[in-house]
Amino acid sequence: MKHYLVTGGAGFIGSNLIQALFRKEPGIRITCIDNFDPFYSTDIKEMNIAGFLNQPGFRLVRMDLADAGPAAIKAVVPEKVDAIIHLAAKAGVRPSIENPLAYQRSNVIGLQHLLDYAVQEKIKQFVFASSSSVYGVNDHFPWKEDEQLMPISPYAMTKLSGEMLGHVYHKLYGIRFIALRFFTVYGPGQRPDLAIHNFTKSMVQGKPIPVFGDGSTSRDYTYVDDTVKGVMAAVDYTGSDFEIINLGNRYAVTLNDLISALESVTGLKAVKNMLPAQPGDVPKTFADISRAAALLDYHPQTTLRDGLSRFYEWFNLQRELLLK
């Protein structure tokens, strides 16, 4: 019976991952560590995790990894762990500019403690959630994993630091460290601060949506089910002991086109509040996923229209909570 340690499991990607793991491998055990960071409503995180609380084999640990060294983690997770899937992080490019030390503490120190725990407990497999933000401003599209990296926000810097910290532990202690660079993940459960969720909420309420810049910025939007399949493949990957892999959707969508697609899916008209471009935001993200295809058999299938429709169905089901 496999035992997975998933950090950040009450969040958007984490809760979708846990659901998929239980569906794929009945009988597994999952320990979820989450500090329920109030970056957005903890009620949403409680909703995300509610369906697992009575699931046989599931355990929730409320803990801030930045406060917990290896001994403290061992005290709450004493059993053998087959793989660590580290999704927990303080999220958000723009807020990281306001409080960079908080991001350093959560995203680097927290990872350090978890890696020390992995060394102590001889846990070989470590999957780390990195970010497309590490590429910074780079016009060599689509982005390959060996591009020169020039982060332009504290958040991006912490994710790049995490990749390098993983490389150190791979070299020193033989941990298999797989860093997955996520590209603008969306779908049911998406964080309310992200564009698709934020725009949908504003459109439903008849409020203007904030458009930073002229709407020409573009993102490689990746549906959460596709991202989760990539994560699960990384958990099983044994082909090498250190890899950095893009998990994107191999095409970029402009902000204006995203808004048009949301209008089509919701049947609502967006009122745009045009604002200056924000520091720390990159103009475009666009993933080369050939490495993911080769190593993880990763082939995203979900179109933007289908993904937005599924998100809107979820939004309507949870409308009372999400419109608070």
- Give the DSSP letter of residue 270: P
Neighbours of 146 (CB within 10 A): 9
Given the residues 103, 135, 155, 186, the one annotated as active site: 155
What is the DSSP track for 25-52? STT-EEEEEE---TTS-HHHHHHHHHTT
Asked if 299 contacts 240 with a C-beta cutoff of 8 angstroms, the reply is no
What is the distance between the alpha carbons of residues 151 and 135, in angstroms, rounded to a whole number? 6
Which residues, including other chains, have CB under 8 Å from residue 250's CB and lie 6 or more apart?
142, 220, 286, 287, 288, 289, 300
Neighbours of 305 (CB within 10 A): 11
For residue 243, the surrounding DSSP H or E stretch is strand 242-247
What is the distance between the alpha carbons of residues 193 and 210, in angstroms, rounded to a whole number? 11
Token representation of residue 236 = 């099983």
Check if 155 is active-site: yes
Token representation of residue 256 = 């204006």
**Hey, is 98 helix, strand or coil?**
helix
Asked if 259 contacts 215 with a C-beta cutoff of 8 angstroms, the reply is yes
Token representation of residue 87 = 């999704």
256 CB-contact burial (10 Å; exposed 0-12 / middle 13-18 / buried 19+):
middle
* Residue among 189, 260, 222 at smallest CA distance from 8: 189
Active site residues: 155
